[in-house]
């Protein structure tokens, strides 16, 4: 694609780790994303795992810190990690706080000005970027799964619950489970979506599960030493799954916190989980 620009490419575990950019119609900005091509992609189209990152992150955090490429190479999975918000804007208050605006798109489609013109992150990660990547690289477009961390865990669960037939599997590390009740989420949703909480609930994973559980088994890893449990509210998700009959594998990991040390410890398990569903 002529509109897609290669920023960098390096050899990695027999494949290629790259950073790319493209003009986005969803955000009205240039967006960057990370993509790892496993060695198997040299011979045939391969399935893809999308990974959505959390607050303060860019496309680089998962790429550099998770150590996922070696396991993706083993299983023949392409990895795609989008950025977490539009870039290059200077909207009022956009850069003032870590939990709103820059690096905090929350994977919603904003409806309130001035955010609605650019913060269409749900459409960006579930539609536009998928089409862009499918057209650019040797991907088996019918086989994709999704995962994420914290705000990105919320995004991954949200995408799969809303469009369960689009994904073969879903998992998350320390997801924000009730975005409408979390201080992180409620502050952002008020500005992105306005005061009507019915709009907020359209993006609230625990509320969606109670109303419409999906056929996938959800895999969650959560550290019990995570300092943000009050914001993440995992008990809400567990209760929603139990009440609705949603299949959930919830693993509480003793002594682990919210960091990429936690993610890198269990990323192999998650890639094996997705590879089984995809291959």
**Which amino acids are annotated catalytic?**
150, 226, 258
Q: Tell me the sheet residues that pair with 173.
A: 149, 221
Q: Pull the structure tokens for residue 116.
A: 């609605």
Burial class (CB in 10 A: 0-12, 13-18, 19+), 58: buried
Q: H helices of the chain, where? A: 60-65, 69-75, 121-123, 129-136, 151-162, 183-193, 197-201, 205-211, 229-232, 234-244, 260-278
From residue 211, give the alpha-carbon distance in Å to each of 111, 129, 151, 207, 227: 23, 28, 21, 6, 30
Gap between the Cα atoms of 107 and 114, Å rounded: 16
Pairing relationship of beta strands 46-52 and 5-12 according to DSSP bridges: unpaired
Q: What are phi and psi of 20, to 5 degrees?
A: -135, 160
Classify 30 as helix, strand or coil: strand
């Amino acid at each position: 694609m002529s509109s897609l620009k290669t920023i960098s490419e390096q050899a990695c575990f027999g494949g290629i780790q790259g950073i790319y950019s493209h003009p986005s119609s969803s955000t009205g900005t240039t967006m960057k994303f990370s993509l790892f091509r496993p060695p198997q992609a040299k011979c045939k189209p391969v399935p893809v795992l999308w990974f959505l990152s959390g607050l303060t992150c860019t496309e680089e955090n998962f790429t550099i810190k998770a150590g996922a490429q070696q396991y993706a190479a083993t299983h023949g999975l392409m990895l795609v990690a989008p950025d977490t918000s539009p870039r290059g804007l200077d909207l009022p208050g956009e850069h003032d706080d870590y939990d709103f605006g820059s690096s905090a798109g929350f994977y919603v489609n904003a409806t309130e000005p001035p955010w609605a013109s650019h913060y269409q992150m749900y459409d960006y990660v579930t539609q536009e970027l998928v089409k862009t990547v499918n057209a650019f690289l040797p991907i088996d477009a019918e086989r994709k799964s999704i995962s994420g961390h914290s705000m990105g865990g919320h995004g991954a669960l949200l995408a799969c619950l809303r469009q369960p037939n689009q994904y073969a599997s879903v998992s998350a590390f320390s997801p924000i489970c009730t975005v409408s009740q979390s201080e992180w989420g409620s502050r952002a949703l008020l500005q992105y979506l306005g005061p009507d909480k019915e709009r907020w609930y359209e993006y609230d994973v625990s509320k969606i599960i109670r109303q419409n559980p999906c056929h996938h088994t959800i895999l969650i890893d959560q550290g019990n030493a995570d300092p943000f449990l009050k914001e993440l509210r995992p008990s809400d998700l567990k209760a929603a799954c139990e009440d609705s009959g949603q299949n959930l594998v919830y693993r509480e990991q003793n002594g682990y916190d919210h960091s990429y040390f936690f993610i890198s410890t269990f990323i192999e398990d998650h890639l094996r989980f997705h590879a089984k569903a995809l291959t």
